[in-house]
Amino acid sequence: MPVSRPITPEPARGAGLRCDGLVAMAFALLALSGLAGCESYRLAGVVMGGDPSTVVVVGKGDGRLLAPGLGGATIEFTIDPTSMHPQKLATVIADDQGHFEVPVDVSGAGFLEYELGVLCRLPGYRTLWTTLDMPASGKRLVLVMKPGRDSYSPQKNLIDETMEMGRQLQQR
């Protein structure tokens, strides 16, 4: 009498290679992210007057980076400004030629995708506030500010605002 054996499927050809390839790719990405951490990432650029107000990501050789800019502008950068845990970077003041540079001590900065909030203020110019994808390392920012009145008011903390409203209602 014949003996029955369970039928086991054979692995598809190349299946082991595909898995090995994915593992190798994962190790390569880890190695690259480790290398990116060795060299510190810096946001750099220039603040200049113009219309309309905007932020332009440019290459290191862009001529606008050599032009004199607006000195004394205060610039705040925030990583993931619309998230539950935005991370404020150091506030920097542009030099007398409008140039700025700020270190970014965030894992994978310049390599991984982060949203970047840019707030730039200078008396006699409209406040510049925008969000953009954080530029890759090797790129620079040109912050263009339109002349006018600074009408900036800081974002309010929703929790603090709600607590204050509750206190006011309790006093009535």
Residue type, 91: T
Domain assignment present for 11:
no
Q: Could you tell me the CATH number of the domain that includes residue 143?
A: 2.60.40.1120
Of the two residues 81 and 112, the one the predictor is more confident about is 81
Domain assignment present for 37:
no
Domain assignment present for 10:
no
Q: Which residue has the tokens 């390599």?
A: 111
Strands 128-133 and 87-88: unpaired
Domain assignment present for 65:
yes
**Average pLDDT of the segment spanning 127-135:** 93
Q: Domain range holding 123? A: 42-152
pLDDT in tens, 64-83: 999 999 999 999 999 888 88
Please tell me the total count of domains within the chain.
Answer: 1
Domain assignment present for 126:
yes
Domain assignment present for 93:
yes
Residue 34 has pLDDT above 60, yes or no: no
- State the chain's mean pLDDT as an integer: 79
Q: According to the 3-state scheme, what is the secondary structure of the chain? A: CCCCCCCCCCCCCCHHHHHHHHHHHHHHHHHHHHHHHHCCEEEEEEEEECCCCEEEEEECCCHHHCCCCCCCCEEEEEECCCCCCCEECCCEECCCCCEEEEEECCCCCCCCCCEEEEEEECCCECCEEEEEECCCCCEEEEEEECECCCCCCCCCCHHHHHHHHHHHHHHC
- Per-residue pLDDT at 93: 96
**Average pLDDT of the segment spanning 89-100:** 94
> CA 92 to CA 97: how far, in whole Å?
14
Whether the link from the prior residue into 52 is cis, omega within 30° of 0, is: yes
pTM for the structure as a whole: 0.66
Domain assignment present for 68:
yes
> CA 37 to CA 73: how far, in whole Å?
29
